[in-house]
Amino acid sequence: MSIVRCGVIGVGHLGKFHAKKYSILENCELVALADPKPDNALELSKELKCDYVTDYKEILKKVDVVSIVAPTSLHYEITSQVLKSGVSVLLEKPITDSIEEARLLDKMAKENNVLLQIGHLERFNPAILKLKEIYNQELRSSQYKLEPDFIEAIRIAPFKPRATDVDVIIDLMIHDIDLILEMVASPISKIFAKGAKILSSTIDIANARIEFQNGCIANITSSRVSDKTERKMRVFAKDAYHSINFQDKRLKSTFLKKQKSNLNNNNNNKILTTAYKIKDSDALETEIRKFINSFTSSTPAVVSAKDGIKALETAILITEKIHESIS
Protein backbone atom coordinates (compact mmCIF):
# COMPACT_ATOMS: atom_id res chain seq x y z
CA MET A 1 0.00 0.00 0.00
CA SER A 2 1.49 3.32 -1.09
CA ILE A 3 1.52 6.15 1.44
CA VAL A 4 -0.25 9.40 0.53
CA ARG A 5 1.73 12.48 1.52
CA CYS A 6 -0.64 15.03 3.06
CA GLY A 7 -0.58 18.67 4.12
CA VAL A 8 -2.94 21.20 5.64
CA ILE A 9 -3.04 24.84 4.53
CA GLY A 10 -4.71 27.03 7.15
CA VAL A 11 -4.45 25.70 10.69
CA GLY A 12 -7.06 27.68 12.57
CA HIS A 13 -9.97 26.17 14.51
CA LEU A 14 -11.09 23.66 11.84
CA GLY A 15 -7.70 23.19 10.16
CA LYS A 16 -6.31 21.65 13.35
CA PHE A 17 -8.93 18.90 13.16
CA HIS A 18 -8.00 18.18 9.53
CA ALA A 19 -4.35 17.80 10.56
CA LYS A 20 -5.18 15.41 13.39
CA LYS A 21 -7.33 13.23 11.11
CA TYR A 22 -4.56 12.88 8.51
CA SER A 23 -2.10 11.99 11.27
CA ILE A 24 -4.11 8.91 12.30
CA LEU A 25 -5.00 7.49 8.88
CA GLU A 26 -3.09 4.30 8.16
CA ASN A 27 -2.31 5.09 4.51
CA CYS A 28 -1.41 8.74 5.07
CA GLU A 29 1.67 10.65 6.18
CA LEU A 30 1.08 14.16 7.49
CA VAL A 31 4.09 15.94 5.99
CA ALA A 32 3.53 19.60 6.81
CA LEU A 33 1.26 22.36 8.09
CA ALA A 34 1.18 25.81 6.49
CA ASP A 35 -0.14 28.92 8.17
CA PRO A 36 1.13 32.52 8.23
CA LYS A 37 0.53 32.66 12.00
CA PRO A 38 2.96 30.52 14.05
CA ASP A 39 0.58 30.61 17.02
CA ASN A 40 -1.88 28.53 15.00
CA ALA A 41 0.42 25.74 13.87
CA LEU A 42 3.87 25.60 15.47
CA GLU A 43 2.89 23.69 18.61
CA LEU A 44 0.58 21.40 16.64
CA SER A 45 3.37 20.53 14.20
CA LYS A 46 5.53 19.46 17.14
CA GLU A 47 2.69 17.39 18.58
CA LEU A 48 1.99 15.67 15.26
CA LYS A 49 5.70 15.38 14.33
CA CYS A 50 5.46 17.17 10.99
CA ASP A 51 7.00 20.26 9.38
CA TYR A 52 5.61 23.76 9.75
CA VAL A 53 5.99 26.62 7.26
CA THR A 54 4.47 30.08 6.97
CA ASP A 55 4.31 30.01 3.14
CA TYR A 56 2.13 27.21 1.76
CA LYS A 57 4.04 27.21 -1.54
CA GLU A 58 7.00 25.63 0.27
CA ILE A 59 5.13 22.35 0.80
CA LEU A 60 3.70 21.83 -2.69
CA LYS A 61 6.59 19.68 -3.95
CA LYS A 62 6.48 17.54 -0.80
CA VAL A 63 2.81 16.49 -0.79
CA ASP A 64 0.28 14.62 -2.92
CA VAL A 65 -2.86 16.11 -1.37
CA VAL A 66 -3.79 19.02 0.88
CA SER A 67 -6.75 20.28 2.83
CA ILE A 68 -7.27 24.01 2.36
CA VAL A 69 -8.94 25.46 5.44
CA ALA A 70 -8.28 29.15 4.86
CA PRO A 71 -10.72 32.11 4.93
CA THR A 72 -13.17 32.01 2.03
CA SER A 73 -11.70 35.18 0.51
CA LEU A 74 -8.40 33.30 0.01
CA HIS A 75 -9.85 30.09 -1.44
CA TYR A 76 -9.34 30.99 -5.08
CA GLU A 77 -5.86 32.44 -4.70
CA ILE A 78 -4.50 29.47 -2.74
CA THR A 79 -6.41 26.66 -4.47
CA SER A 80 -5.51 27.83 -7.98
CA GLN A 81 -1.80 27.73 -7.10
CA VAL A 82 -2.10 24.30 -5.52
CA LEU A 83 -4.03 22.78 -8.42
CA LYS A 84 -1.54 24.16 -10.95
CA SER A 85 1.26 22.49 -9.00
CA GLY A 86 -0.38 19.09 -9.54
CA VAL A 87 -1.59 18.59 -5.95
CA SER A 88 -5.11 17.34 -5.21
CA VAL A 89 -7.30 19.41 -2.89
CA LEU A 90 -9.97 18.96 -0.25
CA LEU A 91 -11.32 22.52 -0.10
CA GLU A 92 -13.48 23.59 2.81
CA LYS A 93 -16.90 24.98 1.92
CA PRO A 94 -17.84 27.24 0.27
CA ILE A 95 -15.81 26.54 -2.85
CA THR A 96 -15.12 30.29 -3.26
CA ASP A 97 -17.06 33.52 -2.82
CA SER A 98 -17.72 34.00 -6.55
CA ILE A 99 -19.24 31.78 -9.23
CA GLU A 100 -16.66 32.82 -11.83
CA GLU A 101 -13.75 31.82 -9.59
CA ALA A 102 -15.46 28.55 -8.65
CA ARG A 103 -15.85 27.59 -12.30
CA LEU A 104 -12.22 28.44 -12.94
CA LEU A 105 -11.12 26.13 -10.13
CA ASP A 106 -13.23 23.31 -11.59
CA LYS A 107 -11.58 23.91 -14.96
CA MET A 108 -8.07 24.01 -13.45
CA ALA A 109 -8.58 20.70 -11.66
CA LYS A 110 -9.58 19.02 -14.91
CA GLU A 111 -6.75 20.61 -16.91
CA ASN A 112 -4.16 19.50 -14.36
CA ASN A 113 -5.74 16.05 -13.89
CA VAL A 114 -6.05 16.44 -10.12
CA LEU A 115 -8.83 15.83 -7.63
CA LEU A 116 -10.89 18.70 -6.21
CA GLN A 117 -13.35 17.76 -3.46
CA ILE A 118 -15.49 20.34 -1.65
CA GLY A 119 -15.85 20.05 2.11
CA HIS A 120 -19.61 19.96 2.59
CA LEU A 121 -19.26 18.08 5.85
CA GLU A 122 -22.92 17.23 6.54
CA ARG A 123 -22.89 14.86 3.55
CA PHE A 124 -20.93 12.56 5.88
CA ASN A 125 -23.07 12.98 8.99
CA PRO A 126 -24.00 9.46 10.22
CA ALA A 127 -27.71 10.34 10.20
CA ILE A 128 -27.58 11.32 6.52
CA LEU A 129 -25.54 8.23 5.65
CA LYS A 130 -28.16 6.10 7.44
CA LEU A 131 -30.98 7.72 5.48
CA LYS A 132 -29.20 6.88 2.23
CA GLU A 133 -28.63 3.34 3.46
CA ILE A 134 -32.35 2.93 4.10
CA TYR A 135 -33.23 3.92 0.57
CA ASN A 136 -30.47 1.81 -0.93
CA GLN A 137 -31.19 -1.36 1.03
CA GLU A 138 -34.64 -1.46 2.60
CA LEU A 139 -36.36 0.06 -0.42
CA ARG A 140 -34.12 -1.90 -2.79
CA SER A 141 -33.22 1.14 -4.81
CA SER A 142 -29.98 1.14 -6.77
CA GLN A 143 -29.68 4.87 -6.21
CA TYR A 144 -30.58 7.47 -3.60
CA LYS A 145 -34.16 8.24 -4.75
CA LEU A 146 -35.80 9.96 -1.84
CA GLU A 147 -37.90 12.28 -4.06
CA PRO A 148 -39.14 14.59 -1.28
CA ASP A 149 -42.25 16.77 -1.56
CA PHE A 150 -41.41 19.13 1.33
CA ILE A 151 -38.28 19.79 3.37
CA GLU A 152 -37.90 21.90 6.49
CA ALA A 153 -34.43 22.69 7.85
CA ILE A 154 -33.26 24.72 10.83
CA ARG A 155 -29.64 25.47 11.69
CA ILE A 156 -29.01 27.92 14.52
CA ALA A 157 -26.03 28.68 16.75
CA PRO A 158 -24.75 31.28 19.24
CA PHE A 159 -22.82 34.26 17.90
CA LYS A 160 -19.09 33.73 17.27
CA PRO A 161 -17.12 36.79 16.10
CA ARG A 162 -14.52 34.63 14.30
CA ALA A 163 -17.05 33.53 11.65
CA THR A 164 -18.34 36.92 10.51
CA ASP A 165 -16.13 37.28 7.42
CA VAL A 166 -19.08 35.75 5.52
CA ASP A 167 -22.84 35.99 6.04
CA VAL A 168 -24.96 33.30 7.69
CA ILE A 169 -26.04 31.93 4.31
CA ILE A 170 -22.46 31.04 3.39
CA ASP A 171 -21.49 30.21 6.97
CA LEU A 172 -24.38 27.92 7.99
CA MET A 173 -27.27 27.72 5.52
CA ILE A 174 -25.09 26.39 2.70
CA HIS A 175 -24.84 23.04 4.55
CA ASP A 176 -28.58 22.54 4.19
CA ILE A 177 -28.65 24.00 0.68
CA ASP A 178 -26.13 21.38 -0.45
CA LEU A 179 -28.04 18.49 1.15
CA ILE A 180 -31.36 19.67 -0.26
CA LEU A 181 -30.00 20.11 -3.78
CA GLU A 182 -28.67 16.54 -3.64
CA MET A 183 -31.96 15.15 -2.33
CA VAL A 184 -34.27 16.97 -4.72
CA ALA A 185 -32.19 16.77 -7.91
CA SER A 186 -34.46 19.20 -9.77
CA PRO A 187 -33.88 22.73 -11.11
CA ILE A 188 -34.99 25.63 -8.91
CA SER A 189 -37.98 27.62 -10.14
CA LYS A 190 -38.35 30.32 -7.44
CA ILE A 191 -36.60 31.61 -4.34
CA PHE A 192 -38.12 33.81 -1.62
CA ALA A 193 -35.83 35.02 1.17
CA LYS A 194 -35.71 37.38 4.14
CA GLY A 195 -32.94 38.17 6.57
CA ALA A 196 -31.34 40.73 8.84
CA LYS A 197 -28.04 42.03 10.18
CA ILE A 198 -28.08 41.76 13.98
CA LEU A 199 -24.62 41.67 15.56
CA SER A 200 -22.34 41.99 12.53
CA SER A 201 -22.06 43.91 9.27
CA THR A 202 -23.34 40.90 7.31
CA ILE A 203 -26.62 38.94 7.43
CA ASP A 204 -26.86 37.05 10.73
CA ILE A 205 -30.30 35.47 10.43
CA ALA A 206 -32.09 34.30 7.28
CA ASN A 207 -35.04 32.33 6.01
CA ALA A 208 -35.38 31.01 2.48
CA ARG A 209 -38.18 29.23 0.66
CA ILE A 210 -36.98 27.33 -2.41
CA GLU A 211 -39.48 26.03 -4.97
CA PHE A 212 -38.28 23.36 -7.39
CA GLN A 213 -39.58 22.56 -10.85
CA ASN A 214 -40.68 19.07 -9.74
CA GLY A 215 -43.01 20.65 -7.13
CA CYS A 216 -40.87 20.14 -4.04
CA ILE A 217 -40.64 23.04 -1.58
CA ALA A 218 -37.80 23.58 0.90
CA ASN A 219 -38.01 25.99 3.82
CA ILE A 220 -34.64 26.79 5.45
CA THR A 221 -33.92 28.90 8.53
CA SER A 222 -30.40 29.76 9.67
CA SER A 223 -29.22 31.97 12.50
CA ARG A 224 -25.92 32.65 14.23
CA VAL A 225 -27.51 34.85 16.91
CA SER A 226 -29.33 32.17 18.88
CA ASP A 227 -29.01 31.22 22.54
CA LYS A 228 -28.66 27.54 21.60
CA THR A 229 -27.28 25.25 18.91
CA GLU A 230 -29.70 23.25 16.80
CA ARG A 231 -29.22 21.44 13.48
CA LYS A 232 -32.31 19.59 12.29
CA MET A 233 -34.10 18.67 9.09
CA ARG A 234 -37.48 17.12 8.37
CA VAL A 235 -38.09 15.47 5.02
CA PHE A 236 -41.57 14.56 3.75
CA ALA A 237 -41.93 12.23 0.77
CA LYS A 238 -44.68 9.98 -0.58
CA ASP A 239 -45.54 7.42 2.11
CA ALA A 240 -42.61 8.53 4.26
CA TYR A 241 -41.42 11.11 6.77
CA HIS A 242 -37.90 11.48 8.15
CA SER A 243 -36.65 13.53 11.09
CA ILE A 244 -32.89 14.14 11.08
CA ASN A 245 -30.93 15.50 14.04
CA PHE A 246 -27.46 16.37 12.76
CA GLN A 247 -26.18 17.48 16.14
CA ASP A 248 -27.09 14.29 18.01
CA LYS A 249 -26.67 12.09 14.92
CA ARG A 250 -30.19 10.68 15.15
CA LEU A 251 -32.70 9.59 12.52
CA LYS A 252 -36.37 8.72 13.01
CA SER A 253 -38.33 7.49 9.99
CA THR A 254 -42.04 6.82 9.49
CA PHE A 255 -43.22 4.72 6.55
CA LEU A 256 -46.69 3.90 5.29
CA LYS A 257 -46.55 0.18 4.51
CA LYS A 258 -49.32 -0.57 2.05
CA GLN A 259 -50.86 -4.02 2.42
CA LYS A 260 -52.18 -5.99 -0.53
CA SER A 261 -55.95 -6.21 -0.42
CA ASN A 262 -58.58 -7.34 -2.88
CA LEU A 263 -60.98 -4.89 -1.28
CA ASN A 264 -58.68 -1.90 -1.85
CA ASN A 265 -59.21 -1.01 1.81
CA ASN A 266 -56.77 1.59 3.17
CA ASN A 267 -57.55 0.44 6.71
CA ASN A 268 -55.22 -2.50 6.12
CA ASN A 269 -52.24 -0.18 5.68
CA LYS A 270 -49.70 0.11 8.49
CA ILE A 271 -47.76 3.12 9.73
CA LEU A 272 -44.38 2.05 11.06
CA THR A 273 -41.99 4.40 12.90
CA THR A 274 -38.38 3.49 13.63
CA ALA A 275 -35.79 5.40 15.62
CA TYR A 276 -32.63 3.99 14.10
CA LYS A 277 -29.60 3.00 16.10
CA ILE A 278 -26.79 4.79 14.34
CA LYS A 279 -23.21 3.76 14.86
CA ASP A 280 -21.37 6.88 15.94
CA SER A 281 -18.73 8.03 13.51
CA ASP A 282 -16.63 11.12 12.89
CA ALA A 283 -18.00 12.99 9.86
CA LEU A 284 -14.70 14.79 9.20
CA GLU A 285 -12.71 11.56 9.35
CA THR A 286 -15.20 9.91 6.98
CA GLU A 287 -14.94 12.89 4.61
CA ILE A 288 -11.14 12.76 4.58
CA ARG A 289 -11.11 8.98 4.12
CA LYS A 290 -13.43 9.35 1.11
CA PHE A 291 -11.13 12.04 -0.29
CA ILE A 292 -8.05 9.85 0.10
CA ASN A 293 -9.89 6.87 -1.38
CA SER A 294 -10.90 8.92 -4.44
CA PHE A 295 -7.28 10.03 -4.81
CA THR A 296 -5.76 6.55 -4.56
CA SER A 297 -8.40 4.91 -6.76
CA SER A 298 -8.54 7.74 -9.33
CA THR A 299 -12.31 7.99 -8.94
CA PRO A 300 -14.45 11.17 -8.91
CA ALA A 301 -14.80 13.24 -5.77
CA VAL A 302 -17.77 12.33 -3.58
CA VAL A 303 -18.62 16.04 -3.40
CA SER A 304 -17.48 17.54 -6.68
CA ALA A 305 -16.62 21.09 -7.66
CA LYS A 306 -19.90 21.15 -9.60
CA ASP A 307 -21.75 20.29 -6.37
CA GLY A 308 -19.94 23.16 -4.67
CA ILE A 309 -20.83 25.52 -7.51
CA LYS A 310 -24.54 24.60 -7.34
CA ALA A 311 -24.64 25.23 -3.60
CA LEU A 312 -22.80 28.54 -4.00
CA GLU A 313 -25.08 29.69 -6.83
CA THR A 314 -28.15 29.04 -4.68
CA ALA A 315 -26.59 30.72 -1.64
CA ILE A 316 -25.77 33.82 -3.70
CA LEU A 317 -29.32 33.97 -5.08
CA ILE A 318 -30.71 33.81 -1.54
CA THR A 319 -28.32 36.54 -0.40
CA GLU A 320 -29.33 38.77 -3.32
CA LYS A 321 -33.02 38.29 -2.50
CA ILE A 322 -32.38 39.31 1.10
CA HIS A 323 -30.41 42.41 0.11
CA GLU A 324 -33.24 43.41 -2.22
CA SER A 325 -35.70 43.18 0.68
CA ILE A 326 -33.63 45.26 3.13
CA SER A 327 -32.23 47.88 0.75
Q: What is the mean pLDDT of residues 63-80?
A: 97
The predicted-structure confidence for 194-211, as pLDDT tens digits, reads as follows 999 999 999 999 999 999
Question: What are the E-state strand segments in the chain?
Answer: 4-9, 28-34, 51-53, 65-68, 88-92, 116-119, 148-156, 188-196, 205-212, 217-223, 230-237, 240-245, 250-257, 270-275
In this predicted structure, which of 65-74, 96-105, 249-258 has the lowest mean pLDDT?
249-258
Q: What is the mean pLDDT of residues 151-178?
A: 92
In this predicted structure, which of 15-29, 50-64, 156-170, 171-185 has the lowest mean pLDDT?
156-170
Query: What is this structure's pTM?
Result: 0.92
Q: Which CATH architecture has domain 4-119+285-302?
A: 3-Layer(aba) Sandwich (3.40)
Q: Are strands 65-68 and 4-9 parallel, antiparallel or unpaired?
A: parallel
What pLDDT is recorded for position 144?
Answer: 42
Residues facing residue 236 across a β-bridge: 150, 241
The C-alpha atoms of residue 71 and residue 94 are separated, in whole angstroms, by: 10
The predicted-structure confidence for 122-132, as pLDDT tens digits, reads as follows 999 999 999 98
Q: What is the mean pLDDT of residues 51-67?
A: 97
- Residue 139: band (very low, low, confident or very high) from pLDDT cuts 50, 70, 90: low
**Is the model's pLDDT at 230 over the cut of 80?**
yes
Q: How many CA atoms lie within 13 A of 230 on its CB side?
A: 13
Percentage of residues in the chain having pLDDT higher than 70: 93
Top-level class of domain 123-281+312-326: alpha beta
- Residue 135: band (very low, low, confident or very high) from pLDDT cuts 50, 70, 90: confident
**Higher-confidence position of 106 and 278:** 106
Q: Where are the domains of the chain?
A: 4-119+285-302, 123-281+312-326
Count CB neighbours of 316 within 10 A. Answer: 16
The C-alpha atoms of residue 226 and residue 223 are separated, in whole angstroms, by: 6
**Is the model's pLDDT at 260 over the cut of 70?**
no
Q: What is the mean pLDDT of residues 109-134?
A: 96
The C-alpha atoms of residue 31 and residue 19 are separated, in whole angstroms, by: 10
Backbone angles phi, psi at 232, to 5 degrees: -135, 155
**Is the model's pLDDT at 262 over the cut of 50?**
no
What pLDDT is recorded for position 318?
Answer: 98
**Is the model's pLDDT at 142 over the cut of 60?**
no
- Judge whether 4-119+285-302 and 123-281+312-326 match in fold: no
SS3 10: coil
**Higher-confidence position of 212 and 1:** 212
Percentage of residues in the chain having pLDDT higher than 90: 82
